[in-house]
Amino acid sequence: MDLSLLSRLNEERAHRRAAVLVTDLQTHTQRLVFESEIARDPLSALLSDALRMGKSGVVETEGHKVFLTVQAPVLRIIAIGAVHISQALVPMAKQLGHDVIIVDPREAFASPERFPDVAVHAEWPDLVLPKLGADRYTAFLMLTHDPKIDDAALNFALKSHAFYIGALGSRKTHGKRIERLQALGFDEQAIKRIQAPIGLNIGAISPAEIALSILGEITAKLRLKPDGAKIGN
C-alpha cells in the first residue's frame, strides 16, 4: 500500500467520513473510494452494502477476488435530556461501540455525578448543537418531555444530515409537536424523518427497556436497506 493512500484513509477517518479501500488480491492494485464517490463507482452496489454493514470482506468481481477494507465513522448519539432513560442508554450504547453526548440545559439533571463517563453539556440545544455539529453518522434523541428543550433541538436536527432522529412521547404528544414544527416552517417530508413514538415497539416500560428499544431502532436504521430488507436478501 502506498503511504499516500494510507494517509488519505486515516485522514478520512479523522474527519468522520466513510471510505472503502479496494484491494485486488490477484493483481495487488489498490484504490480508495470516498463515500461521496460510491454511487458512481463500478462496484457501487457491493461497496454500499459493505458500508451499510460496516464490515470489511472479500467480494468476487469479474473473476477477481477483491478485499474491501471498510472504514465507517463511530456513531455519535446526541441525547437531549439528561434523564433516567439516558442514564440507562449510556452503558448499552458504549457496548455497541457508539459515542454518546448528553445535552440538557437543566443543570440539576445534566450533572457529572449522574453521567460520570460521557460528555455532558448543561446548555440549551440551540446554543450547543451548532458547536457540536451533526453529520450522517449522528443520531438525535429527544427525551426531555419538555417542548421548549426538545423543539430547540429538533429545529437543529431536522436541518442536519443526521441518519436518525427520535422523539419521546405518545402519539397525541407527537401530534402537537407536528403542529409546532409546521408553524416553524417544516414540511411533511422533514417531519416524517422523526421516529415517534421513539424506539421499536417491544412493549418497553422501564427506562432500560426504552433505551433498548431506541438502540434497536438505531441499529435497524443503520444496518437495514432503506426498504427494510436485510443485506444479502
**Minimum distance of another protein from residue 53's CB (angstroms):** 11
Question: Minimal distance in Å, beta carbon 3 to another protein?
Answer: 5
| Alpha helices by DSSP H, the chain | 3-14, 44-53, 84-95, 125-132, 147-157, 171-183, 188-191, 207-223
**Rounded least distance, CB 83 to another protein, Å:** 28
Single-letter amino acid code for the residue at 79: A
Closest CB to another protein among residues 97, 228: 97
User: Which of 57, 130 has the CB closer to another protein?
Assistant: 57
Q: Residue 23 CB, nearest distance to another protein (Å)? A: 7
CB of 104 to another protein, least distance (A): 27
Sign for the CA dihedral angle at 152, 148, 141, 178 comes to: negative
Write the DSSP symbol of residue 74.
P
Pick between residue 20 and residue 103 the one whose CB is nearest to another protein.
20
Nearer to another protein, 64 or 148 (CB): 64
**Short-list 202, 181, 199, 198, CA closest to 190:** 181
Amino acid occupying residue 55: K
Question: Between residues 11 and 107, which has the closer beta carbon with respect to another protein?
Answer: 11
> Going by C-beta distance under 8 Å and a sequence separation of 6 or more, which residues neighbour residue 184?
151, 155
Considering beta carbons, is residue 53 or 92 the nearer one to another protein? 53
174-178 contacts at long range (C-beta below 8 A, 24 or more positions apart): 176/147, 177/147, 177/150, 177/151
Chain positions contacting another protein, by CB under 8 A: 1-3, 6-7, 9-10, 13, 23, 25, 28, 54-58, 67, 69-72, 74, 97
- Min dist CB 21 to another protein, Å, is 9
Cα–Cα distance between 52 and 78 in angstroms, integer?
A: 21
Q: Are strands 99-103 and 119-121 parallel, antiparallel or unpaired?
A: parallel
